Chains A and B, each alone.
Chain A
Amino acid sequence: MSMAQQPAQTQSGHIIPADKVTRLPLAYPKPVAWLVCFGCALCLLLIFCISAGVLFWRGIGVWGNNIPVNWGLAISNYIWFLGIGHAGTLISAMLLLLEAHWRNSLNRFAEAMTLVAVICAGLYPILHLGRPWLFYWMAPYPNTMTIWPQFRSPLTWDFFAVLTYLTVSLLFWYIGIVPDLATTRDRAKTRGWQVFYGLLALGWRGSARHWTRWRQSYRLTAAIAVPLVVSVHSEISLLLAAGPMPGWTSTVFPPYFVLGAAFSGFAVVSMIAVVLRHVLGLEMLVTERHLDLLGKFVLATGLMTAYGYCAEVFDAFYSGDKQDLGTLMDRLTGRYAWSYWGAVVANFIPLQLLWLRWARRNPLCLFLVSAAVTLGMWFERYMLLVTTLYRDYLVSSWDNYHPSLWDWSLFAGMLGVFFVPFLLFVRFLPVISVFEIKEARFEESEAQHA
C-alpha cells in the first residue's frame, strides 16, 4: 500500500494530493479550529442530554404537543433528519453501481453524514414515545404478552425501515473505509495510532483476494442500499397517509417525500463539501466540477420537489373535498402560513441561481443556496405536520401548536448529536475515498495510453 507514496498525476499533469487525505488524521492541519468546533458540538450534546433527561423525568408534557397536534417538532425533525441522510446513500450506492467515478470525491463524507443523520432521526421517535424505555416493543420478539407488532401499521414498518437503513448505511460506510484505514495505519508513526487504525482496518493487507472479497461485499451492500433510497422515505409518507387526515392523502406523497429527502440531502452534502474542501485544503480533490455536479443535483431534485408542491395543490382542488380545500387554505393563509411560504421561498427562490454555471461553481454561493434549501425543507416538514393537524374534522378539537423551550433545546441538542460524531470522523478518519480516486485515475490514464 505504501508503494503509492508519490502523488498521482492527472492527464493535464497537475499533481493531485490524493494521499494527503490519509495523512490528515495523523497531522490535522487546523487543530485549534477543530477543537473550537468540537467544543461547541460537545456543548450542544450536553444540551441534548439535559433536554432528554428533563423529557424522561417529566414526560412528553414538557413539549408543546397537544391533542390535535400530537406530532410536533419531534416528528417533523425526524422526517427532516432522515431525509438529509438520503443523499449519502444515493450518491454512494446508486452512483457506484452506475459507475459514476466523480462520486469518489464525495461518497465517504456523504455516507458519514447519512450515518449520523439516521442516528439523529432514529432517536426522535424513541424520545417521542411516552415510555421510551419500552421502544423494543416495536420489534417482533418472543414475549410474555403473546402479541406481535401490528404489521398492518406503517409505524411498525417505520421501525424496520430506520433500523435497516442504519445497519446498511453503517456496513456500507465501514466496508468502504477499510482500505483507507489500512493506508492510514501504514502511515501512522506512533504505536498507539498504529494499533488504533490497525484494529479498525481488520488486518487489511491489500492482497488480490482481499480486493476480490472487498469488491463483492461492497457492490452487494450497494445493491441492498439502493432500494432503501426510495423505500425508507416513501414509507414515512405512508405514516402520514395512514392517518385519515386532510392534506396527507395525496398519491404524490411517496415520490414527493423521496425527492424532497434527496433535495435536502444534496443540499447538506453540498454544504459539507464546501466547508471540508476549504478547511482541509482539498480543493484539488473536491473540485469545482464536483460542486457543479452537486449544484445540478440540488437543482434537479429541487424542481422535482416543486412539482410535488404543485401536485399537492392540484390534488386538493381535483378532489374538491371540503376538508382538503380547508387545509390547503390553512396552509396558504392560516396561522402557520409562514411555514408554507417559508418553505416555498427558501426552497425555490435562491435555487434558481443554480441555473447559472458560475453560481454552481462558486463555493460560497452554493453554500448559501444549500443552507436556504436545508432551512426550507425544515419549514416544509413542519408545515406538513402542523397545518394538517391543528385543524382536523372536529372543530371542537382545533388547537394551536407552540413548540416549548424543551422542544427547541432538544432540537439544538440533536445538532450536537449530529456534529460530535461527524467532527470525530473528520478529525480521525480519511474523509475521502482515496483508493477509489486513485483507481479511477489509473483507469483514466490507462485508457489514454491505450
Chain B
Amino acid sequence: MPQIFTASADTRLRAVGLVIVLLIFVATLFVGGEMDSTYTTLVGWVKDQPVPFSHKHHAGELGIDCRYCHTTVDAGPKAGLPSTHICMTCHSQVWTGAPMLAPVRESLAENKPLEWQRVARLPDYVYFNHSIHIARGVPCVTCHGRVDQMPLMTRAQPFQMRWCLDCHRDPGPHLRPPSEVTRMDWSGWNENSTEHKEYGERMVKAYGLRPDQLDDCNICHR
C-alpha cells in the first residue's frame, strides 16, 4: 500500500496545531487588551458638540461652580446638561456676537434645546444617582477628572464595573467634606493633617455606610 502522507506530514500537522493554539492565545490577549483600551472605554476621546464648550475656561479659569450649569446634580439622579437659558445668563451680556456661539443664540431664538453629546455615559442597566454621591462627599473630580484642565470635555475614567466596585468596597479614602465637593485639586489633602487622614473612616461610620452591602447587585442593577 502506498504511503498516504509524506514524511513531513506529522510535523506539519503539529505545526498547524501549534499555530491554532498560538492564534487562540493571541486572540485572547487581543480581546483582553481591547476591553481595557481607550478604544472601548472612550477615555480621553473627544465628542463633537454643537458648541466647542471649554470646561478649562469656564470651570478652571473663571471658576464657575459645577452646579451653576449642572443644576440637578445634588438633588436628583442626573446631573443635568445645561439649558440654553443657563448659557444665556452670561452670554446675553458677554461675547454676544461671537461666531462660535451662533448655535446657542439660534437655539434661544428657535426655542430648540442644544443637543449636547453626553460624555460620561453609563449603560442603561446601571442605576446611578448623583445626589447621594454628592451628599456623602464624593468629589466631582473622582469620576469626571480634572475638567478644569480640559479644553474639550473627555471621559476621564473607564466606567468599568471594576472601577465602581473598587470605591463601593472601600469608600472611606474617597470621601471629602460635602461642602467642598466641587473642588478639583485635592493634592496633599490628607498628607499633613491627621484629621483629614481619619476623615474617611470617621464619615463611613457617621453615615452608616456598609461596604459589605455596597457591592450587592441590586445597589446598581435594579
Decide if A349 is an interface residue (CB 8 Å cutoff).
Answer: no
Q: Is the CB of B13 within 8 A of A199?
A: yes
Pick the contact of A146 from B36, B158, B161 — CB < 8 Å? B161
In angstroms, Cα B13 to Cα A346, docked, is 51
Pick the contact of B165 from A142, A145, A199, A203 — CB < 8 Å? A145
Pick the contact of B161 from A144, A191, A194 — CB < 8 Å? A144
In angstroms, Cα B163 to Cα A145, docked, is 8
In angstroms, Cα B35 to Cα A93, docked, is 42
Q: Which of A129-170 contact B (CB under 8 A)?
A: 142-147
Cβ-closest chain A residue relative to B10 = A203
Identify the interface centre among A143, A146, A147, A203: most chain B CB within 10 Å of its CB: A146
Q: Which of A160-204 contact B (CB under 8 A)?
A: 185-186, 191, 194-195, 198-199, 203
Decide if B32 is an interface residue (CB 8 Å cutoff).
Answer: yes
Cβ-closest chain A residue relative to B9 = A203
Decide if B1 is an interface residue (CB 8 Å cutoff).
Answer: yes
**Which residues of B lie under 8 Å from residue A199 when comparing CB positions?**
13
In angstroms, Cα B10 to Cα A199, docked, is 9
Cβ-closest chain A residue relative to B35 = A144
Decide if B5 is an interface residue (CB 8 Å cutoff).
Answer: yes
- Encoded as 1 (CB less than 8 Å from any A CB) or 0, chain B from 5 to 40 comes to 100011001000000000000000000100110000
Indicate whether A185 sits within 8 Å of B4 (C-beta atoms), given known contacts A144-B36, A199-B13, A203-B10: yes
Pick the contact of B4 from A142, A145, A194 — CB < 8 Å? A194
In angstroms, Cα B32 to Cα A198, docked, is 37
Q: Is the CB of A147 within 8 A of B32?
A: no
Q: Which of A194-225 contact B (CB under 8 A)?
A: 194-195, 198-199, 203
Decide if B110 is an interface residue (CB 8 Å cutoff).
Answer: no
Q: Is the CB of A144 within 8 A of B5?
A: no
In angstroms, Cα B160 to Cα A143, docked, is 10
Indicate whether A146 sits within 8 Å of B10 (C-beta atoms), given known contacts A194-B4, A195-B4: no
B167–chain A nearest beta-carbon distance, Å = 11
Decide if B166 is an interface residue (CB 8 Å cutoff).
Answer: yes
**Which residues of A lie under 8 Å from residue B13 when comparing CB positions?**
199, 203
Q: Which of B156-180 contact A (CB under 8 A)?
A: 158, 160-162, 165-166
In angstroms, Cα B216 to Cα A147, docked, is 11
Q: Is the CB of B10 within 8 A of A145?
A: no
In angstroms, Cα B32 to Cα A199, docked, is 33
Pick the contact of B160 from A145, A185, A186, A194 — CB < 8 Å? A145
Q: Is the CB of B5 within 8 A of A145?
A: no
**Which residues of B lie under 8 Å from residue A194 when comparing CB positions?**
4
In angstroms, Cα B1 to Cα A2, docked, is 11
In angstroms, Cα B162 to Cα A203, docked, is 48
A139–chain B nearest beta-carbon distance, Å = 12
**Which residues of A lie under 8 Å from residue B32 when comparing CB positions?**
142
**Which residues of B lie under 8 Å from residue A203 when comparing CB positions?**
5, 9-10, 13
**Which residues of A lie under 8 Å from residue B4 when comparing CB positions?**
185, 191, 194-195, 198
Cβ-closest chain B residue relative to A193 = B4
Q: Which of B16-69 contact A (CB under 8 A)?
A: 32, 35-36
Q: Is the CB of B35 within 8 A of A146?
A: no
Q: Is the CB of A144 within 8 A of B1?
A: no
In angstroms, Cα B161 to Cα A267, docked, is 49
In angstroms, Cα B10 to Cα A147, docked, is 43
**Which residues of B lie under 8 Å from residue A195 when comparing CB positions?**
4-5
**Which residues of B lie under 8 Å from residue A143 when comparing CB positions?**
162
Q: Is the CB of A145 within 8 A of B162?
A: yes
In angstroms, Cα B165 to Cα A186, docked, is 61
Pick the contact of A198 from B5, B158, B166 — CB < 8 Å? B5
A398–chain B nearest beta-carbon distance, Å = 26
Q: Is the CB of B162 within 8 A of A144?
A: yes
In angstroms, Cα B13 to Cα A199, docked, is 9
Q: Which of A226-260 contact B (CB under 8 A)?
A: none
Q: Is the CB of B162 within 8 A of A146?
A: yes
B145–chain A nearest beta-carbon distance, Å = 19
Pick the contact of A147 from B1, B158, B165 — CB < 8 Å? B165
Cβ-closest chain A residue relative to B166 = A146
A416–chain B nearest beta-carbon distance, Å = 29
Q: Which of A28-87 contact B (CB under 8 A)?
A: none
**Which residues of A lie under 8 Å from residue B1 when comparing CB positions?**
2, 186
A374–chain B nearest beta-carbon distance, Å = 38
B127–chain A nearest beta-carbon distance, Å = 16
Cβ-closest chain A residue relative to B1 = A186
**Which residues of A lie under 8 Å from residue B5 when comparing CB positions?**
195, 198, 203
Cβ-closest chain B residue relative to A145 = B161
In angstroms, Cα B35 to Cα A146, docked, is 13
In angstroms, Cα B162 to Cα A386, docked, is 39
In angstroms, Cα B5 to Cα A194, docked, is 9
In angstroms, Cα B158 to Cα A186, docked, is 59
**Which residues of B lie under 8 Å from residue A146 when comparing CB positions?**
161-162, 165-166
Cβ-closest chain B residue relative to A203 = B10
A175–chain B nearest beta-carbon distance, Å = 16
In angstroms, Cα B4 to Cα A185, docked, is 9
Cβ-closest chain B residue relative to A195 = B4
**Which residues of A lie under 8 Å from residue B162 when comparing CB positions?**
143-146
In angstroms, Cα B17 to Cα A199, docked, is 12
Cβ-closest chain B residue relative to A199 = B13
Q: Is the CB of A144 within 8 A of B160?
A: yes
**Which residues of B lie under 8 Å from residue A191 when comparing CB positions?**
4
Chain B residues in contact with chain A, CB under 8 A? Answer: 1, 4-5, 9-10, 13, 32, 35-36, 158, 160-162, 165-166
9 contacts between A and B (CB under 8 A): A143-B162, A144-B35, A144-B36, A144-B160, A146-B161, A146-B162, A194-B4, A203-B9, A203-B13
Top 8 closest A-B pairs, CB basis?
Answer: A145-B161, A144-B160, A146-B162, A194-B4, A198-B4, A144-B162, A146-B165, A203-B10
Given contacts A144-B36, A198-B4, 16 further A-B contacts (CB under 8 A): A2-B1, A144-B35, A144-B162, A145-B160, A145-B162, A146-B161, A146-B166, A147-B161, A147-B165, A185-B4, A186-B1, A191-B4, A195-B5, A198-B5, A203-B5, A203-B10
